Amino acid sequence: MLCTSPVLFVQASDNQQLTADTESTAKLTVSETAVIAEKLEQIDVPASLSAIEQAAILSPLTAHSAKYNVFYGSFELGEANYRLPATDSGFYSYHFDSDVSLLMLSDQRHLTSEFTLENGKLVPFRYIQERTGTGSDYTEQTAFAKAQKFIHTIYKQEALKLSYEEKVFDPLMVQLQFRMDLAANIRPLDYKMVKEKEVDDYQFRVIGKEKVTIKSGTYDTVKVEVVRDSTKRQTFFWMAPDLAYLPVRLSHFSKGSKQLDIQLASYQFEQPLPPMTPVVIDGPKPEASTAVDELVSEAENEAGISESELDEIKQLAVD
């Protein structure tokens, strides 16, 4: 779930070497499985699950990094980078950096999410976003005060206090919870997150399996759609189970026009990943359009960018 809303997220440190190494996703050895099982005794996960199943659910928390290239139609805009460092404390810090530009437009973002793992679920602690580029620069900071039952958030220098709710996430770490829930076959895939002084609700459906070929390689994926009441805007994710459900591609369509397309360029996991259990397929909504492949083809065949499309990119940059 590359940032849920298809904003222009991208880039990272040039000195960080990332390689798409298939050996990094090798199967766990017996001794490694035993170590994971010992760690899992410290958290509350269903006792009916085997150690391998439990490890699969927690695999998105394996220390890793991933780089993505961002396109608007055939135009490459820039890149985005994610980084989840290793931790021994149960306190996690997830990072996102992006840098995209087109003509005179630019957008740079730096996001940090701090959270803990409690009873097998992620609990947000603090979220920071810094945005610079075309339009107004701004910061967004959110503190999740669970003990005081409040969420304190500041967006564009305007503060607001919200009531604390269980299962409310920030826009960055929710991606990890989403991947964990895919691994656990949890339904519904319904998430609330604090964004721009509001609590937004997003729903997702696993609509099928697909083999995806992009520049970085060929991946076996599950295809996920963002559930919306209208088909004027459509967003699809392709997640790779063998990579702890790391997103491989995201495509966004607006009124069937040229899409924002984000593709995995490289990745690295610091530890081997366990095998995943078969994913549950929800299937498309009965009333949903099945013409997404036609939309992709039409979008890729469009060579230019109209003035209205430039306006749309500007809006994406400042939202």
For the stretch 37-64, pLDDT in tens is: 444 444 444 556 788 899 999 999 999 9
Q: Closest Cα partner for 93 from 113, 73, 77, 116?
A: 113
Residue 318 DSSP SS3: helix
Q: How many CB atoms lie within 10 A of CB 40?
A: 17
What is the average pLDDT value for the chain, to the nearest integer? 81
In the predicted model, is pLDDT for residue 8 greater than 70? no
Integer Cα distance of 185 and 21 in angstroms: 26
For the stretch 283-296, pLDDT in tens is: 987 655 444 444 44
Burial of 27 (0-12, 13-18, 19+ CB in 10 A): exposed
Q: Which of 125-134, 210-219, 265-274, 298-307 has the lowest mean pLDDT?
A: 298-307
Q: How many CB atoms lie within 10 A of CB 152?
A: 17
In the predicted model, is pLDDT for residue 113 greater than 80? yes
**Percentage of the chain surpassing pLDDT 90?**
61
pLDDT of residue 6: 34
In the predicted model, is pLDDT for residue 139 greater than 60? yes
In the predicted model, is pLDDT for residue 100 greater than 90? yes
For the stretch 156-196, pLDDT in tens is: 999 999 999 888 999 999 999 999 999 999 999 999 999 99
pLDDT of residue 102: 86
pLDDT of residue 254: 80
Q: How confident is the model at residue 23 (pLDDT cuts 50, 70, 90)?
A: very low
Determine the average pLDDT of the residues in 252-271.
88
Residue 20 DSSP SS3: coil
Integer Cα distance of 121 and 45 in angstroms: 9
pLDDT of residue 24: 35
- Contact in structure between 107 and 98 (CB atoms under 8 Å): yes
pLDDT of residue 49: 79
Residues contacting residue 201 through CB under 8 Å, at least 6 positions apart: 190, 191, 192
